[in-house]
Structure 1
């Protein structure tokens, strides 16, 4: 693995990351690579140590393993969500969590996302990809949005509510536009139907998840009329937008 190129933005902001992993080699690899990339990094080997550090230092993001010696990562995220937290400027109240784990079963991914995980990546991982996912989670939790979103030849301009693919204008309803915007803002990341309901329709689990399938179908008829297909179903979890090389 090669060390990631240090981003000037991360170095300037000195975002504080908490790495939670009981494997000393993985912990040291992540601590060294992320510090080189410009982050302030703490590390914990157990769930309780992670909870104590999170309470003391209020990290901007937690990289969390599922398999820990005292409690699993799912219990850690439950307790993190229950902790009072003083947010740093530009951040929301809940600490973002990115699972980094060898547990790759579909049900584990579903559990991690449904418990409030912001992303889920399995070992072995590529450091450049991990860094990109960290930066994406930090952008999302700050509410930062680029002026234009692009995936392959699909482009979306939030301010003008304008969508094109291969230079051809695509006309979308307001709900279709919000759905596509949410999917593209999370490019490469699988989002659950519950997350889509919360962010596009702005209601929680009381909503009917079948409406998500219906609107994804509408989007596909308008957006995925050519190859490569960009909107993909992740069975049992939700949907993901992927570019031709992701």
Structure 2
């Protein structure tokens, strides 16, 4: 899967291009030096076997990670700039260490409060407090990138934990569908996409119907997080889900609720 949002292109931020995600457990623990997309929740839940060990996400060693979040605060100090980031799954601090004493670091051009940014860096701990050590940071200029990143995080995580569909690495049959074309591991027979050509969404394309049917099934008060929708509609490609969600929002079938990452049906 080609990702237009990473510099230089490459599939899945370079993480999925190696094709080793479906390997043995030993291969998974051996470490992966490519760039791993993570949510801030995954960042905060990353674990270490001991203080000198690599951090792991989904039982896989991670070196460099990338996150996308909205800047809630910017604090400048003599040696670094600290940004408070959140993405709807959690919040964290990102530190950009200054190479010089100049107040205007070129890496901070365009970075300000209440805009979305993509940051690339590593997970660090200092004084028993975890932070994101940013190596690069840039503003997000295409809002589709926010949705794309969350979907990509879910895709990578699912493939690492469950195996790629049809790869033989899914002994639990997690990607199998029931008779009603819904995912067995999701929220029951009413949660999946299905291709019901009758009823309220009969005039929509199959992918649009799938999203609307899922979002209309007992939605929480603050709506469904877009990443949760993608996690339950894995039969569709991430980029297609991004475009379909944007279409449903623009056509008024969906609206954003508690934040831009949570959606609810209009009827």
Shorter-chain TM-score bucket reads 0.3 to 0.5
Decide which structure has greater strand share: 2
* TM-score, scaled to structure 1: 0.32
Decide which structure has greater helix share: 1
Question: Which of the two has higher C-alpha Rg?
Answer: 2
